[in-house]
Structure 1
């Protein structure tokens, strides 16, 4: 059975491991061998690696405050039609795998958070979980296929965030505003199924209408010739949006 002493011992080991990093957790229990120089960590004198694993498996960090705050956000604010999805960073300088460092951001170091908001008010949010095994929202990454079916939509992990955030809102008709980090034709199709329109800037490699890509190239080359403030529209291929 796990006692309170085991819990305090586990917390102390986790703090120690966070301050004295090794390539693998089990390396903290490795001892000196001839021809293999390694530091000797004192935690090995208090608990074996196998016992540490058995205790660690019995615990799962869970903080209900985030879910309570999200519920309160929607309890005190009824979302309107126009909403926005974007990323933000909560400043943090400690040690954790969840921390990101983006020098070009106003807050270059901390926890990245995906948020859906209206008029600057956060309606809901999701933590960004960087890594190769998990996607942007912590789900296992699906196996990728080279080709997709005609009725299948292909979303990358970042675009999936938009869908997950919209699903957290009360059932209603929304119009989502995005930047070019998210925008793609497939994402807009999925949002349409959820009764949500979308407006956003996009990148030329996002799969948009080829005519728009050519217009962007002409604009970059200074050959577009449009008047200031001129707006052009292009209907979708299925003529459902004009």
Structure 2
């Protein structure tokens, strides 16, 4: 629906940004996604810096995204968009998959499917843990001290040269745990595979 669903328990203030909502179309969604991808590639100290123009004494790049979507529009969509139907979340039983990951499941599965269709991997693949940055409120976040991104959602991913093919959510309450094993060097069909000393499997 091209509207905002009213689910607030208290009245909105006159200064609330949601009152600036202008509707949401498929074309707007593609622009917003494009801007989101751009922000991940061209890093600045803050999101707002991408919309700041260079001036005398303040030399900075001029990002072309400002021509397609203003900052307040991007922030409004970022704050209120939902990529899932919240009425379909099974909050009564989160043992298999917490509601946080249920909400992202459909979009996550779609991205993985398209990623596998668009990329033919070579023989050298990596399975490792990654952190998806998240600073909001969620009991599913993981803290890994000493990492560039210490707090966020932990995933196990198979990737090549930074391109993610498949991934699994790290569920804290899951009975399946990662264990450290020592695996030898071996070859198959002329392809040599060297496992890292701290390989990972599941029991």
Structure whose alpha-carbon radius of gyration is higher: 1
Q: How high is the TM-score relative to the length of structure 2? A: 0.42
Q: How high is the TM-score relative to the length of structure 1? A: 0.36
